[in-house]
Amino acid sequence: MKITIIGTGYVGLVTGVGLAELGHTVYCVDTIKEKIDFLQKGQAPFYEPDLEKLLKKNIKSKRLMFSVSLAEVINKTDFLFICVGTPPQANGSADLSYVYAVAEQIKDLANNSKIVVVKSTVPVGTNAKVESILAKNIRQRPTRLWREKAKFSVVSCPEFLREGRAIYDFFHSDRLVVGSTNEKSAKAVADLFGKVKAQKVITTRETAELIKYASNAFLATKISFINEIANLCDKVKADVTEVALGMGLDKRINPYFLKAGIGYGGSCFPKDVKALRQISGGNGYDFKLLKAVIEVNGKQRKIFMEKIKKVLGNLNNKKIGLLGLAFKDNTDDIRESAAIDLAKYLVKAGAMVTAYDAKATLNAKKVLGNKINFVASAYEAVKNVDAIIIATEWPEFIKLDWLQIKKLMKQPIIFDGKNLLDPEQMKKNKFNYYSVGR
């Protein structure tokens, strides 16, 4: 099939590359010319494992093409995927202006029937609003024949891609959710992903829209819950990793997202939890649990910062080695990153911070500027420091020569915000080791 993807961010580019790999002809459109120029050369604008490899492969096979002009490609394809951003507004609700702007463009440019697939994460009722915008196109057509040719069917198909594992998730998804008022259109969209072995959930658009938010909010709730348990573990001298193991063995609970630390971040969980709370409030329901989830996540970073201050005392002129800047491993994304918050807190307190991250340094520099020192290796980051903070769960940090690192440090203090290292081993290595709930 021939498909147009509108938007080449995480969702749009991964979806476009994935669909091309499945054998479809895909046109990816974005308004930023510099980004399109890079993509046409096979260069991804962000780091995602295996993305660039599949990008180059499908450009070479001519199944994947890029353009800055929607008008140029829209009438070459039958499926239009809306994959633009829905950033949070000041009150936590999703900004849908980009989605609606794309719908207006489609309305004006399409001259034959299209299935419009909304892949962006959007509140309940958005797909219906997109359909109403597109319906204006049909009413404005001058002849009945032209009106019949320009029919639109709007389908909700939310994404479930984890940053750092998005390519894997595309081809190994747990489920494919398709919401539509038209059974034929729903089947057509599901068939696009036919080679992906995933449970197909065909439902209404409103239900599909809510499944996405409910999923992310529930996972965020699990993280906040285990972080509360971790804080209790610190009080009663229990080990949260063993508590999580014992809990996770219960099939009703499972072990996923029961990893304690300094809170969730990234572009999805914070935004989607707040948006779902706004959706609830806007429909007259006080979703109290989500309020607690948000509060716990914000508090978790403050608790960790207080632990650092309690151990080190006055942070003025203290030298700190910060390992990790991305909000999680295998990505260069720093949105809502706990590491960035920690860096800002330390600088404000007068500390001198030297940081290392495998992929996120460039993005972090855009936010932190020259407030901290950026280096090219973990070993450089820990030279002559008063303490180390592990703020991202990069696997390479586990494999570091910690005895060598101890020699490089001024004093052997580690604050492990991701519970990445083995406390017993750190004790044997004679580190003063502080983690979360252990």
pLDDT value at 141 more than 90: no
Burial class (CB in 10 A: 0-12, 13-18, 19+), 202: middle
Task: Say which CATH topology domain 213-288 has.
Answer: N-(1-d-carboxylethyl)-l-norvaline Dehydrogenase; domain 2 (1.10.1040)
CATH architecture of 294-434: 3-Layer(aba) Sandwich (3.40)
Task: Say which CATH topology domain 2-203 has.
Answer: Rossmann fold (3.40.50)
pLDDT digits (tens, 9 = 90+) for 356-392: 999 999 999 999 999 999 999 999 999 999 999 999 9
d(CA 283, CA 272): 16
Delimit the CATH 1.10.1040.10 region(s) of the chain: 213-288
Q: Are 43 and 52 in contact (CB under 8 A)?
A: yes
Cβ contacts of 287 within 8 Å, gap of 6 or more: 276, 277, 280, 281
Q: Return phi, psi of residue 313, to 5°.
A: 75, -140
pLDDT digits (tens, 9 = 90+) for 320-347: 999 999 999 999 999 999 999 999 999 9
pLDDT digits (tens, 9 = 90+) for 33-86: 999 999 999 999 999 999 999 999 999 999 999 999 999 999 999 999 999 999
Delimit the CATH 3.40.50.720 region(s) of the chain: 2-203, 294-434
Q: Which residues are catalytic?
A: 268
Structure token digits, residue 201 = 């959930």
What per-residue confidence (pLDDT) applies to 297? 96
Q: How far is CA 304 from CA 180, 339, 424, 437, in A?
A: 45, 11, 21, 11
In which residue are the tokens 């003025």 written? Answer: 316
Q: What is the pTM of this model?
A: 0.92
